[in-house]
A and B are shown apart, each in its own frame.
Chain A
Amino acid sequence: MREETAVGIGAPPAISLKHVSKTFGGVHALDDVSFEIAQGEVHCLAGENGCGKSTLIKIITGVYQPDAGLVAEYFGESVASMTPNDARRRGIAVIWQDLALFPEMTVAENIAFETLVGGRPRLFSFGKIRAIAQKALASLEVEIDLEERLGRLPIAQRQIVAIARALVSDARLIFMDEPTASLTQSETNALLAVVRRLSARGVSVVFVSHRLAEVLDIATRVTVLRDGKLVGVYPTEGMTQSRLTELMTGTRFDTAVAARDTANNAPVLEVRGLTRRGEFSDIGFVLREGEVLGLTGLIGAGRTELGHTLFGMTRPDAGTIALDGRVLHLKSNRDAVEAGIAYVSEDRLALGLVQPQSIADNLVLPVLGKISNRAGLISRAARDDLVRHWLTELAIKIGHPSDPVATLSGGNQQRVVLAKWLATEPKVLILDSPTVGVDVGARAGIFRIVRKLAESGLAILMISDEVPEVYFNADRILHMAAGRIVGEYDPRKFELPDLEAAVYG
């Protein structure tokens, strides 16, 4: 699959960076890391959540300054300090993990924003902006209404806008920080094709992804970080996923089907004939106590929409939802929370957290009642206990509970969201794509938690488009396609490839 690069032997590296360290308060985000990327190379940065991948990108692009100053070469030129604007001028573009888009502006403006910065103030034309944006989207083979306000797009489309934005400039080096986290398979394939084209033209790409198959497929070399330290740089030739995982985590993970027999457990959530026009129809299933029910299917099958309805965010046109034998009439998600349903959404960054607030405050947000005394005042001790409990339970790596959530790495933010909902002690937990953007080690951690929660009696509906995830971790699997449930599988009786064939068809 790999194509030869267009840059000759002996060309200087696109970027070479020596001995960078960066600390935030007490956290060593990067500890004496050196990094090099060749021109035209597709290079992957791999490592667990919080190992410093995004921080490294931010240092190279001048968003953060390294502790001891910058010692670097950019395209053969020595550089001692960097600013975002300078990085842009040198032909570096970034797809940020948190996208860094402008929700109030249109899709076209967001994509072509690059052409609006730098240089003297000048007039511009909307027509040109649209043309540039259109071209970038076309190269990704997608269509998005250019005049739509960005804030109205679902997360997956925003991700595409962020990708398109990086393609607008004639960048010589593009950083892609988890660009595929919320993309469908076909969108991902289109992106990977673009990466290959760029590389063939001599553009270097630094690719960050927790989907190791993707990494091994696209990259020629991979730089592995662990806890802010450089583990090593490896060619992907001959590298396997399990070896890479081992390098990233320092331990091995085994996979085995975890399904148990739950058919005799008491039913908790009973759904009958649930229909919402244009989204899903005639959905019926029973979720039992202590059961992990996997719900899989392609993106667009209506899984997330079903999740929203079960959580009271949208109303069904027909059908019933019953909890513990009592039919629920959910008017809002507040009703759902009160009834004992918790929902960890797919778009955690936008929906789940109050970014500038502290980790502790975010975590206790839905349970303020529980940690308050009679007078309605929050008990500090109760709060700290609760926070400590969940931080250790989910192994969340943080500096201090009073730090703003915004300072956490993407994957650790997701665990905070999970902790927040678990603290409500729900009867039913709906997890929508719980491992998007979460590294292998943390995935294993999250699934361990999921199992543990199930064993303590919680009923869990786990939505995921990654079939292996549900296969290895669910007790039972529902397959959804075009808004309907089209099959039910017991992982103990099926092989993974058969299931994958059925779903990906």
Chain B
Amino acid sequence: MARFFRASPTESRLLLVLIAICVFLSFASDSFFTLVNFTSLLNNSAINLIWAMGLLVVLIAGGIDISFAVAASVVQYVCVYAFDAIGGGNWAIGVVLAAGLGMGLGFINATLIHVFRIISIVVTIATFNAFFGLLMFLSSGRFLYNLPDWWTRRILIFEYQTADGTWAELTLPVAVMFAAVLATWVLINRTTVGRQLYAFGDNPEGARRVGVNVAAMQFIAFGWMGAMAGIGGLMQANIVQEVVPNALIGRELDVLAAVVLGGARLGGGRGSVLGCFLGVLLVAITQNGLNLLGVSPFAFKMVVGGIILVAISMSNLDFGTRARHRPGDDREETA
């Protein structure tokens, strides 16, 4: 435990805050600490978590992506027409197609960033607008309901009837989310590529000099983000059973906020799957709690903003290890 604290100060702090909030909410509202509430929390967070995994990889590699939620919408539209054209399809084709399309869109970002040396925030703001404009233009803002049956069917991976007769259920997107979390964890913690992504985000010039393939890093990071965006889009349509061109717009900032809250650093080199997971859950639980307490949804954004400010300033303060002077961490002071 002490070791975990030392090695992962951000994660352990988040965990403590999360526990504190849960304890508080358990007393403040009797519907919070129930199995039904927890399963619905997971169902509702699944899409954001899938996206967060993609964004985490981009942030670790020193980039940022604003365009992924719109990219997910693009993938949804293309998928609807593609399934129509091939006369149905199934989950296997769907996942491969959505991931592939998303990855393609991610590669567009990576190409612009790597080949034209434009910083990622500028590139993805541009592609955000381009994707969205194109989508609205081609779809004329139409909603699509003619989704294949397999796509919109609710698939339960867990169900349990509680004493009062209500059902606690977990749906397919949660399973997919866990798969995405696991895959991302393996990628960034267990593969050589993962270490290279961290190194590249941390010190790009240093990484280049020790032989890291810089182009590959951009394509892997934005490709992974794209694949997650596509899969998230596929799952989101499974939940809402329709495809709406502007349904996802704005979600990118919620996810970004949660990932940063989870300790990923804007600027690269830092971030973990656990922290990212906790960051998304913290935001979701706060929202859930405020809902249960009957607080206005407008106050919610304010509260989340506040949490993020506190979290970021705490991680900059680096408690406990700061008593002695340490070079390297004190750049601002002596410059």
Contacts and interface: CB of A to CB of B under 8 A. Distances in A.
Interface of A: 61, 63, 83-85, 87-89, 94, 96, 99-105, 109, 113-114, 116-119, 121-124, 147, 151-155, 158, 308, 313-314, 332-333, 343, 345, 347, 350-354, 365
B182 to A, nearest CB: 14
A76 B209 CA distance: 23
B191 to A, nearest CB: 6
Given A88-B210, A152-B326, A308-B325, A333 B192 contact: no
A365 B212 CA distance: 35
Interface string B190-205: 1111011011011101
Given A116-B195, A155-B328, 16 more contacts: A83-B211, A88-B211, A100-B203, A102-B198, A105-B195, A105-B202, A105-B269, A117-B211, A117-B212, A121-B193, A122-B192, A124-B191, A152-B329, A332-B333, A347-B327, A354-B335
Contacts, number: 115
Contacts of B330: 313, 351
A121 B326 CA distance: 35
Contacts of A123: 190-192
Contacts of B209: 61, 63, 84, 94, 96, 100
A121 B219 CA distance: 14
A63 to B, nearest CB: 6
B213 A85 contact: yes
A352 B335 contact: yes
B199, B208, B211 interface centre (most CB from chain A within 10 Å): B211
A102 B205 CA distance: 10
B1 interface: no
Contacts of A96: 206, 209
B140 interface: no
A121 B333 CA distance: 40
A144 to B, nearest CB: 14
Nearest to A129: B195
B210 A121 contact: no
A155 B326 CA distance: 10
A136 to B, nearest CB: 15
Contact of A101 (B190, B206, B331): B206
B318 to A, nearest CB: 10
A43 to B, nearest CB: 21
Interface of B: 7, 190-193, 195-196, 198-199, 201-203, 205-213, 265, 269-270, 321, 325-331, 333-335
A87 B210 CA distance: 9
Contacts of A117: 192, 196, 210-212
Given A61-B209, A63-B209, A84-B211, A102 B199 contact: yes
A159 B253 CA distance: 40
A464 B271 CA distance: 40
Nearest to A155: B327
Contacts of B205: 100
Contacts of A88: 210-211
Contact of A151 (B210, B325, B328): B328
A83, A105, A345 interface centre (most CB from chain B within 10 Å): A105
Closest 4 CB pairs of A and B: A100-B206, A85-B211, A104-B269, A88-B211
A87 B208 CA distance: 12
B327 A350 contact: yes
A87 B195 CA distance: 20
29 contacts: A84-B211, A88-B211, A101-B206, A102-B206, A103-B202, A103-B328, A104-B198, A104-B202, A105-B198, A116-B192, A116-B195, A116-B196, A117-B192, A118-B211, A121-B191, A123-B190, A123-B191, A124-B190, A124-B191, A152-B328, A155-B327, A308-B325, A343-B334, A345-B334, A347-B328, A350-B327, A350-B331, A351-B331, A352-B335
A347 B49 CA distance: 42
B303 to A, nearest CB: 30
B219 to A, nearest CB: 12
Contacts of B211: 83-85, 87-89, 117-118
Nearest to B333: A333
B196, B201, B210, B331 interface centre (most CB from chain A within 10 Å): B210
Contacts of B331: 350-351
Given A63-B208, A88-B210, A113-B210, A104 B270 contact: yes
B325 to A, nearest CB: 5
Given A100-B206, A117-B192, A105 B335 contact: no
A271 B114 CA distance: 56
A314 B203 CA distance: 29
Contacts of A333: 333-334
A494 B58 CA distance: 62
A56 B329 CA distance: 32
A61 to B, nearest CB: 7
Contacts of B321: 152
A105 B199 contact: yes
A85 B209 CA distance: 8
Contacts of A83: 211
A291 B196 CA distance: 51
Contacts of A351: 327, 330-331, 334-335
Nearest to B190: A123
Contact of A100 (B7, B210, B326, B335): B210
Contacts of B334: 313, 333, 343, 345, 351-352
B328 A153 contact: yes
A172 to B, nearest CB: 16
Contacts of A99: 206
Nearest to A123: B190
A171 B211 CA distance: 14
Contacts of A343: 334
A63 B204 CA distance: 13
A151 B329 contact: yes
A77 to B, nearest CB: 19
B148 to A, nearest CB: 35
B294 to A, nearest CB: 42
B230 to A, nearest CB: 21
Contact of B327 (A85, A100, A154): A154
Contacts of B202: 102-105
A461 B70 CA distance: 61
A87 to B, nearest CB: 8
B300 to A, nearest CB: 33
A154 B324 CA distance: 12
A161 to B, nearest CB: 12
A308 B330 CA distance: 12
Contacts of A313: 325, 330, 333-334
A333 B199 CA distance: 32
Contacts of B199: 102, 105, 113, 116
Contacts of A350: 327-328, 331
B198 A122 contact: no
A124 B202 CA distance: 20
